[in-house]
Structure 1
Amino acid sequence: MTRSGWNGYETRFADEKRVESYARQYDEGSYDDHVWRLERPVLLDVLRRERVRRGRLRVLDFACGTGRILRALEEVADELTGVDISDEMTKRAAEASPQALIRTGCVLTEDLLAGPYEAATVFRFLLNAPEEVRLPVLRKIREHLEPGGLLVLNNHGHSPSLRSIAVRVPKSRPERPNELRHRDVVELLHASGFRVEARRGFSAFPPVLHRNLPAAALRRADAVACRTPLRKMTGGLMVEQLYMARAVG
C-alpha cells in the first residue's frame, strides 16, 4: 500500500499551517486538553505498572503526530520510538521529544518498526485511518511486540455516547464524523492478535456541549464521573474510550 492509500493523511498534514492548527486543539483550556488531562494519568499509571512487572519498557508510539503522547511517555519509558506517516508531524514530534527515535513513513510498505517493544500506544488512529488500513496496521504492531506485550489504544468517537447524538444534529451536516462501537474495537483487536484486558471511559459530554454550556461545570462533572465507583457505571457511555490489550499467540 502506498502512502496515498491512507486517504491523503500524509498530504493533509503536509502543510505547516494545518499541523499548527492540529496542535492548537490541545491548547490549555481546550476540550481536547481537558480529555487528555483525565486520560494522561491513567495511561502513565498503566505503563508504570508494566515497567515494574517487566523491569524495563521500550515503547512504540504509533501515529505519534506532533509528539503529545511521546512527551508524556518520557516519564515511564526506557526507550521511545515514534512513527507517523506525515513529515511535518514527525518534525514537530522530534522537537517535542528529543530523546525519542522518530521515523516517518507507511508501516505497511516500509520497515519502520524496529522493536521488539514491551508496549505500544496508538492514539487517534482508529477513527482517522481508512477502515481497510486499521486491521493490517494493528497486526503489524502486534508483530513487533514482545510476547504478552501491552497495547494501549483509544477510540475518540465512541458510540453510543452523547457525541453520537451530537454528530447527527443538524442533519444538514455534509459529512458525519466517524464513530466506532465497543464491539467493533474489540473485534479489531482480537483479529489482530490482542486480548482486551480493560477499558476506561473519559468525557461524558461532547465538544458541542462544552462550547455551548458552562464548560467548567461540565469538566467538574467529567472528573467525578471518571472516579471509582462511578466510572464503573458511566464508563461505557463516555465519548473517549481507552483500551488496554495484551498480545497473544
Structure 2
Amino acid sequence: MSATAPKRAPMPDDIRARKGGVPLVSLTAYTTPMAELMDGVCDFVLVGDSVGMVLHGLPSTLGVTMEMMILHGQAVARGLHSSMMVVDMPFGSYEQSRELAFANAARIMAETGAGAVKLEGGVEMADTIAFLVVRGIPVMAHIGLTPQSINTLGGYKVQGRGDAGEQLLADAQAVSDAGAFAVVLEKVPQNLADDITARIAIPTIGIGASAGCDGQILVVDDMLGLFTAFKAKFVKRYAHLGDDARAAVSAYADEVRARKFPAVEHVFGDAAPEAKS
C-alpha cells in the first residue's frame, strides 16, 4: 500500500473493538463540505435526524422523513473516505415492526452507502435490533434522552435519575445483548453513564453524559456556534461562526448599499481588441 493511500474507514467491528481504549470521536454532519472537514478526524460521522431542527427549521425531529435522511446521507457520503458514516432512522420508520425496520434500514444503507444505522430505544427495541443485526444491518443504539420520544418524556429532560437509573441500566444491557455495536447515552447523569460504561460490552458514546464514556458526539452546528436557537448545558462552543457570519452579511449589505461592492477588481472590462497580423 502506498504511504499516501487514504486511511480505510472504520467498520462497526472496529468501533466495537475500541471499547475501553482511546475515546471515539464523532460529530453530526448533513452536507458534503462539512463531511469533508470531518473526514479522517472523526472515527464515525452521524447523519442525525437533528437535521430537521438544524437545517430545516422544524420544532423537533418528529417531522424528519426517510427521504430527508437519505438525501443528507448521500451528501455526507460524498465527503467521507476515512470515517464511517452512520445514518439515523427517522421517527416512524422502525417502531411498528421489525420487518418494517429492516425494509427501511436496508433502503437507507443501499441508497446512502452508510456503514450502519442508528435507532432510539432500549429494552423495547432489543428484538428489532437483533432482527436487523442477524440480517446484516449493523445497529448503533440510543438510550437516555431519546428526542423522538420527547412528547412522552415531557421534554428534553435528564434521564435516569433516582430509581429510573435501573431502567437505563436494563436498556443498555438489552441493546448490547441484542447485538448493537455501540450505544449513545444522551443526557444521562455522570455516575450512571460511568456505571453503564463499566457494565456493558460495547462502547458508550456520550452526549451530555460523562467523559468516562468510550466516546463523545456533538451536533456540529452547536459546537461551531452556528445553531444558536438554544444552547444545551452539555455543548461546548469551540467557535462562534454564527456571530462571524452575521457580521459578514451585515458588512456585505452595507457595502452594496454604499456602492462599494463590487469594486473594480470584482468586475470585468471590455474584451481586449484582437491583434492585427
Give your verdict on TM over 0.5. Answer: no
TM-score by length of 1: 0.34
TM-score normalised to structure 2 length: 0.32
Q: Which has the higher strand share?
A: 1
Bigger-Rg structure (1/2)? 2
> Per residue, is there more helix in 1 or in 2?
1
